[in-house]
Amino acid sequence: MRKSFRTKVIAVFLVSVLVCMLFLDLMCGVFLKQIFIFDTKRAMLSYAEEIETDMINGSRNINSILREMNDSYGITASAVDGEANVFFSYRLFIDDDIKAAYKRWMASYLGSVAADKDKDFFIEAKNEEDTLEKLVYVTRTEQGVFLVMSMEIKGIDQDVRVITDLLLVMTVLISAIGTVVWGYASRPFTTQVEKMSRITGKMAKLNFEEKINYDSPDEIGMLAKSIDSMSDELKESIENLKEDLEKRKCTLRDLAHEIKTPITTIRGYTENIQYFCEENEKVQKYCNIMLDECDEVTALINEMLMMSLLESDEYIRKAEKVNTSRLMHEIIIRIGNEFADEKIDVQLEGAELLCNADLIERALLNFVSNAVKYGDKDCEILLRGKAEKDRYVFSVTNCGAEIVGEDKGRIWEAFYKSDKSRRRGEGHGLGLSIVSRVAKTHGGDVDLQSKDGKNTFIMWIPLDNT
């Protein structure tokens, strides 16, 4: 199934948003807890400094500071002496277990280098599963009072989960909303791109009637103007070429007709000379040569006129329903008249064709004539026809040298001769070109199969050409 440019752009946008949000969610899961712990440590240090300053100044705002710590960060703090007796505390009640914990944390502090060198001292308390459970900060003021601060890590874990879940929800919402918004926002752009694609497709088929007519200062507008301008220039150039080509065709047809008259005259005088000089062998010989040359030129003129008429598609307007049985009957009669001494087998399967019977007959006779001229004399020539799916295939097979390389591709060209040294009487190089033109005039084509000492020339046309 073909995917439009608009669909691809929306898909890229959606994937980009999802990847970014999922990456952000992953980073939050990995680093957010550490960021919270770092921020909590920073807050503990700041509040400890503020409490110590308040104690030095004799202020009585310590309880309000402790309340603010708990409200803002969930930090529980107490000011105690060496025996864990409380001076100030946010806790309403301190039992023996809490005092024991205070003593244990203060002992750890006093046993560390932090107590002597006035360094920050944090304890990361873990449970039996070795999972961080509580963050503790201990320091001693100049008055000898210990400040003990603690915070439950499970609160941080809960915050991280909430934020992570929120990011997941936001990822889905942003993706959905962004897809809808981008779909509508990109519609004018993709509509013009689709229109350009359709119009350039018509231009490829030489249809220059439709224009984009999109006036915008952006790149799409500039491209649209360029395509419209190119369409006008191509249309004008092709019309000029067609006019010039038609003039050349008319000149060729007129020239061919003009040549036929003097050729006919020359032939008439030559035949008269033969009649009056019947006893002169040398004159008879020369006259026969002149008559052969007249026939050669007349045949060439007729073929050129045929090519000219085929290029104008004049004959295809005379197409009609033709049964291949009738066509085979006519061809057998023509072959009997023109190639009476040749071994030619004709078999055409029955079918109804919409075609110009005269052109098809002419093409098949050209096939046979070519096979007679350039095939082995002792080999039977096979003319076959059969229906294959939606087309009817004619083929002529003869025995002869294999046709390969450049010759295989160019034998259908007008005036091309694979053997440059062959005599003029063997053809003008227009026979197969006429066959190709007849096939294409009917919407078909030609082909050549050459192997094992046999050459098969193929022409096919559609079974229904309407």
Question: Tell me, what's the pLDDT at 424?
Answer: 41
Rounded distance between C-alpha atoms, residue 462 and residue 283, angstroms = 54
For residue 137, list its beta bridge partners: 122, 149
The pLDDT value recorded for residue 115 is 63
SS3 429: coil
Domains of the chain: 5-160 (3.30.450.20), 219-308 (1.10.287), 315-462 (3.30.565.10)
Sequence-ordered list of residues with C-beta below 8 angstroms from that of 26, at least 6 positions apart, any chain: none
Residue 91, pLDDT score:
66
- Which residues share a beta bridge with 399? 454
**Alpha helix (H) residue ranges in 132-218:** 153-204
| Share of the chain residues as helix, strand and coil, in percent rounded to the nearest 5 | 60, 15, 25
Q: What is the pLDDT of residue 350?
A: 86
What is the DSSP secondary-structure string of 120-142? Answer: -EEEEEE-TTS-EEEEEEEEE-T
pLDDT at res. 3 = 56
Q: According to the model, what pLDDT value does residue 67 have?
A: 83
Dist. CA 80–CA 150, nearest whole Å: 14
CB-based contact 12:186 (threshold 8 Å): no
Taking the C-alpha atoms of residue 433 and residue 417, their distance in angstroms, rounded to an integer, is 11
**In what side-by-side order are the strands of the sheet with 381-388?**
344-348, 381-388, 391-399, 454-462, 445-451
Report the alpha-carbon distance of residue 395 to residue 125 in Å, rounded. 94
Average pLDDT across each block of 10 residues of the chain; the chain has 466 residues. List them in order. Answer: 62 77 74 80 86 77 81 83 80 76 85 69 72 79 84 72 77 78 74 81 82 78 84 85 73 66 78 79 83 75 66 62 85 84 86 84 85 82 88 89 75 64 50 82 87 87 70
CA–CA separation, 392 and 109 (whole Å)? 101
User: Rounded to the nearest 10 degrees, what angle do helices 219-276 and 281-311 cross at?
Assistant: 160
Q: What pLDDT does residue 423 have?
A: 41
C-alpha gyration radius of the chain: 50
- Amino acid identity, residue 299? A
Report the 10 Å Cβ neighbour count for 362. Answer: 19
Note the pLDDT of residue 440: 85
